[in-house]
């Protein structure tokens, strides 16, 4: 007998980012009078009782009152638990529907159709994991069951898994006379931007709808979405759908989905407003509208829409997670670059008034530490990108940093557990705060720079830029932004090049949407970045802006490449392959040998046989100089040279490691210390400054950097570092306050110098240097 735990709502007061349990538990929802819901009517998505046909006809035509009365009457007269389950489902009573499906399956445990229909109930109830289990159980009972294969494929497609395509094709091969499979193929093609393939599948689906006399609504919705992606949002298929069912608001919600997929959030908002105006009981559309409004920075209205969604469907984890996140916003402060220190002169005042506004939302516990660095980096990025891409932001740019990674994940996708570091919605950037990750595991400076580049590629093209180009420009700019940031090319990318797994330029977007092999998304990021690097080298960096303007006209990748660069996509791919072979170098044919050399060096290091480390480590470095990951030869050689009395050579290796994009904070701190000891203070300061954009929570880094900058006469920057030390609540506050006092004294700001020296003495009344400085200030 199948167990059914008691229904449990998703509590608004539970911890944020809580996932729903993967159990069979439903909340008895409270619906407005006449509100109906349910899964698609196609028979290829699971057999349903013939008793439901009259009610389904009313439902399909939008006759809600008649449909609701028909389903209620069926429940009263039918003894078939499966039919009752479907009727309760339509009426919105998910608890009763769940119980009747349980009874039906217990009565007929070998019937795969019952499990498929039950699985679709789970899909609608936001429990895709449980749905996948039921589809799998149906396939255990009939390995060729078409509806079960389609159900499993629908879950995979919703998760953007490449295996979905294989499952759909299996279902279509087994049963060509169906609608659902063609619709799923069309949906995946639309999401990947293959409009010709989508149109072919939809035309076939329309033929099947007519021959099978099935509901045309889902087909109409996807045809309207196809027109939308072809720049015709007010499609004739909308009129046809509403003539068939005047309450079919889902047709606008479907279009909104494809606007979101292509990151056109403002247009998605307009479609979602139409959807809920036509059908106020589309709770998911209310939730999507709320999340989308937040992406535009309209948090007040976004919260109101999410509250509506929660009141209608309190079982949605995404809705509840987002509302919980918004409840936490009281712990954040929002700062503006327009409200910073008063300008020193008229020229600085004019610059302040004319520069784009940047709003930064930081958790109050780390706002004092991060504020100056976030503003400095973002203002520099905005200035550079405005000039390079000939676009000035028309609205304030809002940057949000979340110290809790799951909070950032909820802000991004409304669910915890994603692997992203940052995301851009247009003028709103959200990302992890550096404190949300382990030291060295997250370089927040490159992430912020990367996301700010997205602001420009998205807004300069009204979000028409293809994903590959937006990501490619961001990767390229990330590498260009600072000599220390490098372009670390991992072994997985080398292996993909060897195995010819890179996509042609005209199809590169597909690598970001539905990966066909593990790691393809990351490989596509690197490929896109190197494509932009190749273009800048061969045709000049200004061509990146030319391509961006072409995409603003909604030009295809192939046509834009030909117009901007003067060669077709095939020739571009061929030349790019030549560039890759040159860029990657010897490791392209020697990955196995590189691994062997690195292993020899690592084994020698473990034995502390430092002389034996050098030769294989040098060989590994020469074969694959781009590798700065775990166990890289630069760090091995630095240790070997230092242990054998060759400090200068060790410094050289760690310096090369830094320039290649090496980011281990401990290694970089060692480099800074060695440089300072060698009397190379300016170079040491440069290294410590770079660590701040990697791991700013290190008090020692700020203190050492402050001292070095003070010695070099860079008092303004030194004061910033000593303020950072105080923001980290050091044990020795007297020393931290004294360092600020002596710096302000050098800057000629006696008022601040006096304030901080008194604070130093408040913490340590007999602190000699502070007493001496106080006397000098008084004199």
Note the pLDDT of residue 13.
46
The tokens describing 609, both together, are 């046989």
- 740 to each of 343, 606, 699, 755, how far by Cα in Å? 21, 44, 15, 10
Question: Cα separations (Å) of 171 from 142, 159, 166, 188?
Answer: 13, 19, 9, 15
Average predicted confidence (pLDDT) for the chain = 89
% of the chain beyond a pLDDT of 90: 75
The predicted pLDDT at position 15 comes to 35
Q: What burial class does residue 618 get, using C-beta atoms within 10 Å of its C-beta: 0-12 exposed, 13-18 middle, 19+ buried?
A: middle
How does pLDDT run across 652-681, given as a tens digit for each residue?
999 999 999 999 999 999 999 999 999 999
Dihedral class, residue 417 (left if φ above 0, else alpha if ψ from -120 to 50, else beta): left
User: What 3-state DSSP class applies to 402?
Assistant: strand
| Strand partners of residue 333 | 362
Q: Which of 431-440, 491-500, 681-690 has the lowest mean pLDDT?
A: 431-440
Q: How far apart are CA 94 and CA 720, in angstroms?
A: 58
CA distances for 578 relative to 41, 140, 594, angstroms: 52, 49, 22
pLDDT tens per residue, range 372-419: 999 999 999 999 999 999 999 999 999 999 998 888 888 877 554 456
Residue 549 burial class via C-beta count within 10 angstroms: exposed 0-12, middle 13-18, buried 19 and up: middle
Average pLDDT over residues 198-225: 95
What the block records as the tokens of 240 is 């046809």
Residue 491 near residue 559 (C-beta atoms within 8 A): no
Per-residue pLDDT averaged across 710-734, rounded? 96
Over the stretch 561-584, which tens digit does the pLDDT of each residue have? Answer: 999 999 999 999 999 999 999 999
Q: How far is CA 551 from CA 545, 556, 706, in A?
A: 10, 7, 45
Beta strands in 283-327 (DSSP E): none
Region of residue 213 (phi > 0: left; psi between -120 and 50: alpha; otherwise: beta):
left
For residue 138, name the pLDDT band (cuts at 50, 70, 90): very high
Strand partners, 430: 400, 423
Judged against a pLDDT cut of 80, whether residue 131 lies above it is answered with: yes
Res. 16: pLDDT tops 50 = no
pLDDT interval class at 25 (50, 70, 90): very low
Model pLDDT, residue 417? 46
With beta carbons less than 8 A apart as the criterion, state whether 315 and 18 touch: no
pTM (predicted TM-score):
0.84
Give the mean pLDDT of 465-485.
Answer: 94
| pLDDT of amino acid 207 | 95
Q: Which residues contact 386 (CB under 8 A, 6 or more apart)?
A: 356, 392, 393, 456
CB contact at 8 A, 557 and 469 = yes
71 and 92 in contact (C-beta within 8 Å)? no
Of residues 92, 85, 55, the one with CA closest to residue 70: 55
Please compute the mean of the pLDDT values over residues 181-195 and round it to a whole number: 91
Examine the pLDDT at 97 and tell me if it is beyond 70: yes
**Mean pLDDT value across residues 97-123:** 94
- In this predicted structure, the answer to whether residue 59 has a pLDDT above a threshold of 90 is yes
| Counts of helices then strands in the chain (DSSP H, E) | 39, 5
Categorize the per-residue pLDDT at 22 as very low, low, confident or very high, splitting at 50, 70 and 90.
Answer: very low
Output the six-digit token pair for 274: 């139409």
Q: Which among 204, 207, 201 is positioned nearest to 186, based on CA atoms?
A: 201
Q: Region 304-325: what's the mean pLDDT?
A: 88
Q: What percent of the chain lies above the pLDDT cut of 70?
A: 92
Confidence of residue 126 (pLDDT cuts 50, 70, 90): confident
Give the Å distances, CA to CA, from 675 to 79, 100, 635: 84, 74, 16
Task: Assess whether pLDDT exceeds 80 at residue 487.
Answer: no
Does residue 113 contact residue 148 with C-beta atoms inside 8 Å?
A: no
Host H or E run for residue 406: helix 405-413
**Structure confidence at residue 37 (pLDDT):** 52
Query: CB-based contacts of 770: which residues, under 8 Å, 6+ apart?
Result: 734, 737, 738, 741, 757, 760, 761, 764
Listed range (42-46, 441-445, 585-589, 630-634) with the worst mean pLDDT:
42-46
pLDDT band at 315 (very low <50, low <70, confident <90, very high): confident
Q: What distances in angstroms separate CA 452 from CA 412, 470, 529, 547, one per listed residue?
A: 16, 11, 15, 18
List, for residues 612-627, the tens digit of each pLDDT value: 999 999 999 999 999 9
Helices 217-229, 195-212: axis angle to 10 degrees equals 160
Higher pLDDT, 228 or 349: 228
């Amino acid at each position: 007998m199948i167990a059914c735990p008691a229904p449990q709502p998703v509590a608004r007061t539970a911890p944020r980012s809580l996932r729903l349990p993967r159990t069979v538990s439903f909340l008895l929802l409270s619906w407005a009078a006449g509100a109906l819901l349910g899964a698609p009517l196609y028979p290829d998505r699971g057999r349903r009782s013939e008793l439901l046909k009259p009610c389904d006809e009313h439902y399909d035509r939008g006759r809600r009152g008649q449909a609701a009365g028909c389903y209620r009457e069926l429940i009263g007269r039918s003894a078939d638990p499966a039919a009752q389950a479907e009727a309760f489902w339509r009426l919105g009573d998910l608890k009763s529907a769940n119980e009747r499906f349980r009874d039906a399956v217990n009565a007929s445990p070998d019937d795969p159709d019952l499990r498929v229909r039950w699985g679709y109930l789970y899909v609608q109830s936001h429990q895709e994991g449980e749905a996948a289990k039921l589809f799998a159980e149906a396939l255990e009972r009939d390995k060729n069951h078409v509806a079960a294969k389609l159900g499993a494929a629908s879950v995979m497609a919703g998760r953007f898994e490449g295996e979905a395509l294989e499952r759909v094709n299996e279902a279509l091969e087994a049963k060509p006379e169906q609608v659902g499979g063609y619709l799923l193929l069309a949906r995946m093609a639309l999401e990947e931007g293959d409009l010709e393939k989508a149109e072919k599948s939809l035309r076939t689906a329309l033929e099947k709808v007519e021959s099978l006399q099935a509901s045309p609504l889902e087909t109409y919705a996807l045809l309207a979405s196809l027109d939308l992606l072809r720049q015709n949002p007010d499609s004739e298929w909308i009129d046809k759908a509403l003539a068939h069912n005047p309450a079919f608001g889902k047709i606008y919600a479907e279009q909104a989905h494809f606007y979101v997929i292509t990151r056109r959030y403002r247009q998605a908002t307009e479609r979602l407003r139409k959807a809920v105006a036509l059908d106020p009981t589309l709770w998911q559309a209310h939730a999507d509208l709320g999340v989308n409004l937040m992406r535009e920075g309209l948090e007040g209205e976004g919260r109101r829409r999410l509250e509506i969604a929660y009141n209608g469907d309190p079982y949605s984890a995404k809705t509840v997670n987002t509302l919980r996140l918004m409840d936490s916003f009281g712990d954040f402060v929002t700062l503006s670059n327009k409200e910073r220190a008063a300008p020193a002169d008229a020229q600085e005042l004019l610059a302040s008034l004319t520069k784009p506004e940047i709003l930064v939302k930081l958790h109050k516990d780390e706002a004092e530490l991060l504020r100056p660095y976030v503003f400095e980096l973002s203002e520099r990025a905005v200035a550079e990108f405005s000039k390079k891409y000939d676009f000035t932001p028309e609205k304030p740019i809002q940057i949000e940093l979340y110290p809790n990674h799951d909070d950032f994940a909820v802000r991004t996708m409304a669910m915890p557990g994603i692997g992203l570091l940052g995301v851009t919605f247009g003028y709103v950037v959200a990302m992890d705060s550096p404190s949300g990750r382990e030291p060295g595991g997250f370089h927040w400076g490159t992430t912020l720079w990367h996301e700010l580049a997205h602001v420009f590629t998205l807004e300069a093209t009204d979000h028409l830029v293809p994903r590959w180009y937006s990501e490619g420009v961001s990767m390229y700019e990330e590498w260009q932004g600072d000599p220390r940031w490098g372009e670390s090319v991992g072994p997985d990318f080398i292996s993909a090049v060897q195995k010819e797994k890179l996509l042609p330029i005209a199809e590169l977007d597909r690598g970001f949407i539905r990966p066909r092999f593990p790691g393809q998304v990351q490989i596509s990021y690197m490929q896109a970045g190197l494509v932009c690097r190749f273009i800048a080298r061969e045709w000049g960096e200004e061509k990146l802006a030319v391509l961006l303007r072409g995409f603003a006209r909604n030009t295809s990748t192939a046509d834009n490449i030909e117009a901007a660069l003067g060669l077709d996509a095939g020739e571009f791919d061929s030349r790019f392959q030549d560039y890759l072979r040159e860029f990657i170098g010897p490791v392209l044919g020697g990955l196995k040998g590189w691994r062997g050399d690195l292993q020899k060096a690592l084994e020698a290091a473990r034995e502390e046989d430092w002389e034996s480390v050098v030769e294989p480590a040098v060989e590994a470095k020469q074969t694959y100089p781009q590798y700065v990951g775990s166990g890289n030869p630069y760090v091995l050689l630095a240790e070997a040279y230092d242990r054998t009395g060759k400090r200068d050579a060790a410094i050289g290796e760690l310096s090369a490691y830094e320039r290649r994009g090496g980011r281990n904070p401990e290694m970089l701190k060692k480099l800074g210390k060695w440089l300072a000891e060698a009397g190379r203070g300016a170079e040491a300061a440069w290294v410590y400054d770079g660590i701040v954009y990697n791991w700013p929570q290190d008090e020692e880094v700020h203190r050492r950097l402050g001292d070095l900058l003070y010695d070099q006469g860079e008092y303004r920057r030194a004061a910033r570092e000593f303020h950072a030390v105080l923001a980290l609540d050091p044990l020795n506050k007297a020393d931290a306050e004294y360092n600020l006092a002596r710096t302000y004294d050098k800057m000629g700001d006696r008022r601040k110098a006096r304030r901080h020296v008194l604070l130093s003495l408040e913490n340590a009344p007999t602190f000699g240097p502070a007493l001496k400085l106080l006397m000098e200030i008084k004199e």
